[in-house]
């Protein structure tokens, strides 16, 4: 239904039944006049509000979204609003990376007796939205396809890992193999410049194991499908965080998994490597030195220095060696911990909101909706029951618009909040090379800032921040309504 032309903007409210809906009633009973823009959707509890409802509304044309629940401690369901507070705050910090002004979304607490406060909140928020004006629409955004070069500096020297104790690793795997159904690793793919996953069941299989900068796949992705079986997995540091996260979520059992770890010196960004190689018919040779790889393709030599061609995640990697392992070989390089913004995210940070919206418009128009990002993600455990394709519930249509595709990316990112280890499989698997990891990185940054520098995948016993709460949140403060 069209909004009254010129008079109103589209503002959607989600109110908990017990406090804020009652507060809005109280305001009505007191005849406390308010702007008419707001449409209220009544939900049982602010904890019922999936942040994705809000994104849905904003992507579909809402100019503002207002959420209100019971004051902390007053939740009718005792704790629903504590969960809501964390999730909504993460959402608020996430929205700008999409190119949505976070002032268009606000959440607050209004009790059933606070009619005046409700009047004030509605009036202030409606004024704010009118000052911001109609929200820019993804449909109308000018696609921005040019991407600035990412700034690439690493926290530690990157290398090719050719001194790694591969033979010792093979021996260790062979020794354990009789107890295991399978050990997951990497083998050479269709040429020496590519690897594919290796499932080792016999000692001969183990001899195929390779180690080096082409080992880009995250073998942890396969673990949940082996649930109930004894399985080994060879991991890089980043892969091990996915294993920890799977353990934390009860999707694999510690006693079923044997972890073999070697320190990693970085892996190549195959999208950029392939771009540099261009079209070729055969790889003639691949030779390694400490700092990089030289690939000769169709007689032409290409040099890939690790410091220039590593995956974005490798530059800020602080876990070159596994955080959890049964068998460790080799000693990792020391890492100088420091502030680090992943290059994909830094690129978006440098854009204006308008540019970001245009950026995603342009990028999402290229998206094939193949779901490779999801299928490669080790934390996407819904698999066949992903809500992207279900009718019950039906979060998305199958319409191939930038809006729906970006909404899917948001679903993925929000579902990974506090879970994503930044392994980058989504981005690596993307056949058209969209830097979608940036969305997950923004969520991870928000989670770390809000919850004591929490990093997923370090401690199998940790309580994931969005599945817990504090009565008083250290880093979440209610914004005042002035």
Partner 1 sequence: MRIGVFICHCGSNIGGTVDCARVAELARAFPDVAYATDLMYSCAEPGQAAIEAAIHEHKLDGVVVASCTPRMHEPTFRRTVERAGLNRYMFEMANIREHVSWIGKDKEANTNKAAELVQIAVEKLRRDKPLTAKSFDINKRVLIIGGGVAGIQAALDCADGGVPVVLVEREATIGGKMAKLDKTFPTVDCSACILGPKMVDVAQHPNITLYAYSEVEDISGYVGNFTVKIRKRPTYVDWSKCTGCGACTEKCPSKKTPDAFNEFTGPTTAINIAFPQAIPKKAVINAEHCRQLVKGKCGVCAKVCPTGAINYEMQEEIITEEVGCIVAATGYDLMDWTVYEEYGGGRYPDVITSLQYERLLSASGPTEGHILRPSDGKEPRNVVFIQCVGSRDRSIGRPYCSGFCCMYTAKQAVLTKDHIPDSQSYVFYMDVRAPGKMYDEFTRRAIEEYGTEYIRGRVSKIYPDGNGRLVVRGVDTLMGEQVEILADLVVLAVGVEASKGSPQLAEKLRISYDSYGFFMESHVKLKPVETNTAGVFLAGVCQGVKDIPASVSQGSAAAAKVLALFARDKLENDPQIAAVDVKRCVACGKCIRCCPFGAIKEVEFRGEVKAQVIETVCQGCGVCTSTCPQGAIQLAHATDNQILAEVNALCQC
Q: List the interface residues with partner 1, window 225-284 (CB under 8 A).
A: 249-251
Contacting partner 1 within 47-106 (CB under 8 A): 47-51, 53, 56-57, 60-62, 70, 73-80, 83, 87
Among 179, 204, 392, 399, binds partner 1 (CB under 8 A): 392
| Least Cβ distance, residue 181 to partner 1 (angstroms) | 19
Build a one-symbol-per-residue string for 152-191: x at contacts with partner 1 by CB under 8 A, - elsewhere.
----------------------------------------
> 402-415 and 51-59 helices cross at what angle (nearest 10)?
160
Which is nearer to partner 1, 161 or 378 (by Cβ)?
378
Among 104, 117, 405, 415, binds partner 1 (CB under 8 A): 415
Build a one-symbol-per-residue string for 299-338: x at contacts with partner 1 by CB under 8 A, - elsewhere.
----------------------------------------
Which is nearer to partner 1, 214 or 451 (by Cβ)?
451
The alpha helices in 177-264, defined as continuous H runs, are 203-207, 237-248
Which is nearer to partner 1, 86 or 445 (by Cβ)?
86
Q: 110 vs 22, 52, 460, CA distance in Å?
A: 9, 22, 37
Among the listed ranges 175-183, 265-273, 303-311, 384-392, the one in contact with partner 1 (CB under 8 A) is 384-392
Among 9, 20, 27, 68, binds partner 1 (CB under 8 A): 27
C-alpha 409/C-alpha 146 separation (Å) is 20
C-alpha 447/C-alpha 79 separation (Å) is 20
Contacting partner 1 within 331-370 (CB under 8 A): none
Which is nearer to partner 1, 56 or 356 (by Cβ)?
56
| Least Cβ distance, residue 367 to partner 1 (angstroms) | 19
268 token code pair: 């190549």
Q: Which helix (H) or strand (E) holds 305?
A: strand 300-305
Q: Are 310 and 267 in contact (CB under 8 A)?
A: yes
Q: Are 90 and 447 in contact (CB under 8 A)?
A: yes
Residue with tokens 């040099």: 303
Beta bridge partners of 105: 65
Question: Could you say whether residue 107 binds partner 1 (CB under 8 A)?
Answer: no
| Least Cβ distance, residue 471 to partner 1 (angstroms) | 9
Among 24, 357, 367, 420, binds partner 1 (CB under 8 A): 24
In degrees, rounded to 5, the angle at the alpha carbon of residue 346 between the alpha carbons of residues 341 and 352 is 140
- CA quadruple 250, 251, 256, 258: dihedral positive or negative? negative
| Least Cβ distance, residue 250 to partner 1 (angstroms) | 5
Residue with tokens 């294993």: 243
Among 9, 21, 360, 456, binds partner 1 (CB under 8 A): 21
Q: Are 186 and 210 in contact (CB under 8 A)?
A: yes
Residue 276's CB is within 10 A of a number of other CB atoms, namely 14
Which is nearer to partner 1, 70 or 447 (by Cβ)?
70
Which is nearer to partner 1, 73 or 303 (by Cβ)?
73
Comparing CA positions, the residue from 202, 82, 37, 109 lying closest to residue 478 is: 109
Q: Which residues contact 399 (CB under 8 A, 6 or more apart)?
A: none
Among 44, 96, 189, 433, binds partner 1 (CB under 8 A): 44
Question: Could you say whether residue 137 binds partner 1 (CB under 8 A)?
Answer: yes
106 token code pair: 């606000």
Q: Rounded to 5 degrees, what are φ and ψ at 200?
A: -90, 120
Q: Which residues contact 92 (CB under 8 A, 6 or more apart)?
A: 102, 105, 106, 107
Q: Are 212 and 264 in contact (CB under 8 A)?
A: no
Question: Could you say whether residue 4 binds partner 1 (CB under 8 A)?
Answer: yes
Among 127, 139, 207, 365, binds partner 1 (CB under 8 A): 139
Among the listed ranges 98-106, 156-164, 230-238, 382-390, the one in contact with partner 1 (CB under 8 A) is 382-390
| Least Cβ distance, residue 252 to partner 1 (angstroms) | 11
DSSP 39: E
Contacting partner 1 within 419-478 (CB under 8 A): 463, 467-468
Among 97, 169, 180, 386, binds partner 1 (CB under 8 A): 386
């Amino acid at each position: 239904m069209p909004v009254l032309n010129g008079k109103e903007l589209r503002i959607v409210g989600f109110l908990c039944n017990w406090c804020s809906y009652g507060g809005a009633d109280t305001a009505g009973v007191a005849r406390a006049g308010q702007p008419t823009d707001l449409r209220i959707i009544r939900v049982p509890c602010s904890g019922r509000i999936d942040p994705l409802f809000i994104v849905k509304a904003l992507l579909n044309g809402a100019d503002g979204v207002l959420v209100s629940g019971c004051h902390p401690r007053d939740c009718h369901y005792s704790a629903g609003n504590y969960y809501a507070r964390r999730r909504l705050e993460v959402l608020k910090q996430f929205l700008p990376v999409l190119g949505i002004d976070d002032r268009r979304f606000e959440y607050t607490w209004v009790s059933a007796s606070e009619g005046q406060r409700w009047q004030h909140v509605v009036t202030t928020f409606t004024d704010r939205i009118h000052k911001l004006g109609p929200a820019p629409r993804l449909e109308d955004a000018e696609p921005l396809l040019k991407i600035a070069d990412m700034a690439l500096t690493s926290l530690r020297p990157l290398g090719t890992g050719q001194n790694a104790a591969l033979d010792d690793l093979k021996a260790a795997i062979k020794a354990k193999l009789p107890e295991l159904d399978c050990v997951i690793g990497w083998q050479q793919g269709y040429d020496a410049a590519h690897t594919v996953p290796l499932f080792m069941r016999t000692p001969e299989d183990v001899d195929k194991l390779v180690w080096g900068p082409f080992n880009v796949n995250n073998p942890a992705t396969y673990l949940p499908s082996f649930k109930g079986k004894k399985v080994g997995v060879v991991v890089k540091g980043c892969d091990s965080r996915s294993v920890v996260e799977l353990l934390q979520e009860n999707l694999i059992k510690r006693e079923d998994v044997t972890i073999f770890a070697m320190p990693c010196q970085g892996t190549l960004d195959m999208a950029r490597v392939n771009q540099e190689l261009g079209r070729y018919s055969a790889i003639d040779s691949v030779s390694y030195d400490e700092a990089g790889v030289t690939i000769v393709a169709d007689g032409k030599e290409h040099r890939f220095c690790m410091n220039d061609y590593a995956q974005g995640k490798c530059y800020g990697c602080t876990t070159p060696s596994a955080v959890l392992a049964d068998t460790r070989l080799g000693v990792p390089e020391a890492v100088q911990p420091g502030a680090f913004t992943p290059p994909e995210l830094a690129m978006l940070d440098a854009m204006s909101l308008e540019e970001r919206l245009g950026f995603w418009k342009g990028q999402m128009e290229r998206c094939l909706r193949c779901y490779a990002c999801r299928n490669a993600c080790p934390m996407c455990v819904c698999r066949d029951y992903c809500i992207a394709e279900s009718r019950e519930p039906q979060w998305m249509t199958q319409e191939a618009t930038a809006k729906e595709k970006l909404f899917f990316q948001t679903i993925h990112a929000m579902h990974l909040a506090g879970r994503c280890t930044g392994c980058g499989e989504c981005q690596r698997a993307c056949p058209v090379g969209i830097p979608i990891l940036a969305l997950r990185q923004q969520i991870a940054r928000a989670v770390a800032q809000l919850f004591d520098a929490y990093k997923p995948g370090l401690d199998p016993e940790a309580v994931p921040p969005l599945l817990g709460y504090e009565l008083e949140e250290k880093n979440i403060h209610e914004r005042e309504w002035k």
